[in-house]
Structure 1
Amino acid sequence: MSSPTLDAPALDAPALESLRAALRGPVVAPQDATYDEARHIYNAMIDRHPAALVSCADAGDVMAAVNHVRDGGLELAVMGGGHSGPGLCVVDGGVTLDLSPMRWCRVDPAARTAQVGGGTLISDLDHATAAFGLATPAGVISTTGVGGLTLGGGHGYLTRKYGLTIDNLLAADVVLADGGFVTASETEHPDLFWALRGGGGNFGVVTSFTFRLHPVATVGAAVTLWPVDRTTEVLKWYREYLPQAPDDVYGFFAELVVPPAPPFPEELHGQKSCGVIWCWTGPLDRLEETFAVVNEAGPPSFHFTAPMPYETLQSNFDALLPAGLQWYWRGAFFDAVPDAAAEVHRRYGEAVPTDLCTMHLYPVDGAAGRVGADETAWSYRDATWSGVFGGIDPDPGNAGLIKRWCTDYWSQMQPYSMGGGYVNFAGADERADRVRATYRDNYDRLARIKHSYDPYNLFHANQNIRPAQERSSTRSSTM
Structure 2
Amino acid sequence: MTLELGVVLDPALPPATMAALAQRAEEAGLDMVVTNPGDLDPWTTATWLLGSTKSIPIGVALAPVATPDPRDPEAGYPSVAGRARDSLDLLAGARLITDPSAWTLAPADPSPADLERAAAANLPVVVPASTEAEVDRLARLLIEHRGPRPTGPRRTSSVRAKRLPGIAYDEVPASLAETAVEPGDPAYRTVRSTYLRGGRPGLVLRPTTPPQVADALAFADRHRHLPLGIRSGGHGVSGRSTNNGGLVIDVGGMNTIEVLDTATRRVRIGPGATWKQVAAALDPYGWALGSGDYGGVGVGGLATAGGIGYLSRKHGLTIDHLVAVEMVLADGSIVRADREENPDLFWGVRGAGANLGVVTAFEFEVYEVAEVGSAQLTLVVPDIEEALLRFGEMAAEAPRDTTVFLVTGRPRPEGSVIQLYGLVDSPDPEVIVERLTPFASLGALVQQQVILAHYTDVMNQAHDIGPDGHHGHGEPHARSGLIPGLTSEFARDAAQLLRTGDVYFFQLRTMGGAIADVDPTATAFAHRNAAFQITAMGGGTEALDTAWSLVQPHLEGLYLSFETTRSPERVADAFPPATLTRLRELKQRFDPTNLFRDNFNIDLSEMNR
Q: Same fold (TM over 0.5)?
A: yes
Higher relative contact order (CA 8 A, sep 6+): 1
Identity across aligned pairs (percent)? 28
Partner of 2:417: 273
Separation in 2, partners of 1:100, 1:271: 42
Per-residue CA deviation, residues 395-426 of structure 1 (Å, 9 max, x unaligned), is xxxx44xx5664333221112211x2101111
The letter for the 2-side match of 1:433 is E
In the superposition, relative to structure 1, how do residues 74 and 103 fare at CA in structure 2: closer, same or farther (>3 Å)?
Answer: farther
Q: Is residue 2:589 matched to residue 1:460?
A: no
CA RMSD of aligned residues (A): 2.8
Q: How does 1:27-426 map to 2 (within 5 A)?
A: 27-44=180-197, 46-47=198-199, 49-73=200-224, 75=226, 76-108=228-260, 109-256=262-409, 272-285=416-429, 286-294=431-439, 297=442, 300-316=445-461, 318=463, 323-324=471-472, 327-349=476-498, 357-391=504-538, 399-400=539-540, 403=541, 406-418=544-556, 420-426=557-563
**Structure 1 residue 63, shift from structure 2 partner:** 1.0
Separation in 1, partners of 2:409, 2:451: 21
Per-residue CA deviation, residues 41-85 of structure 1 (Å, 9 max, x unaligned), is 1114x33x3331101121121011112222454543211111233
**Structure 1 residue 299, shift from structure 2 partner:** 5.6
**Structure 1 residue 271, shift from structure 2 partner:** 7.9
Separation in 2, partners of 1:325, 1:215: 39
Aligned length: 435
Partner of 2:575: 439
Per-residue CA deviation, residues 98-137 of structure 1 (Å, 9 max, x unaligned), is 1111122112433212211121111111111112111111
Does structure 1 retain, via aligned residues, the 8 Å contact 2:398–2:435?
Answer: no
**Structure 1 residue 20, shift from structure 2 partner:** 4.1
Q: Unpaired runs of 5+ in structure 2?
A: 1-163, 465-469
In the superposition, relative to structure 1, how do residues 303 and 234 fare at CA in structure 2: closer, same or farther (>3 Å)?
Answer: farther
Separation in 2, partners of 1:325, 1:217: 39
State the SS of the aligned residue for 2:595.
Answer: coil
Does structure 2 retain, via aligned residues, the 8 Å contact 1:104–1:124?
Answer: no
Per-residue CA deviation, residues 309-329 of structure 1 (Å, 9 max, x unaligned), is 21222243649xx85366321
Stretch of structure 1 that moved more, 69-78 or 438-447: 69-78
Q: TM-score, normalised by structure 1?
A: 0.83
**Structure 1 residue 302, shift from structure 2 partner:** 4.0
Does structure 1 retain, via aligned residues, the 8 Å contact 2:502–2:547?
Answer: no
In the superposition, relative to structure 1, how do residues 221 and 84 fare at CA in structure 2: closer, same or farther (>3 Å)?
Answer: closer
Separation in 1, partners of 2:347, 2:316: 16
Does structure 2 retain, via aligned residues, the 8 Å contact 1:451–1:469?
Answer: no
The letter for the 2-side match of 1:81 is G
Separation in 1, partners of 2:224, 2:488: 52
Q: Unpaired runs of 5+ in structure 1?
A: 1-7, 259-267, 392-398, 472-479
The letter for the 2-side match of 1:290 is R
Separation in 2, partners of 1:9, 1:455: 27
Q: TM-score, normalised by structure 2?
A: 0.66
Separation in 2, partners of 1:291, 1:274: 15
Per-residue CA deviation, residues 331-387 of structure 1 (Å, 9 max, x unaligned), is 000112222321333344456569xx3211112211011111111001111111111
Separation in 1, partners of 2:221, 2:605: 20
Does structure 2 retain, via aligned residues, the 8 Å contact 1:122–1:144?
Answer: yes
Partner of 2:167: 11
**Structure 1 residue 23, shift from structure 2 partner:** 2.7
**Structure 1 residue 212, shift from structure 2 partner:** 1.6
State the SS of the aligned residue for 1:142.
Answer: coil
Separation in 2, partners of 1:315, 1:364: 23
Which one has the largest radius of gyration?
2
Separation in 1, partners of 2:558, 2:515: 16
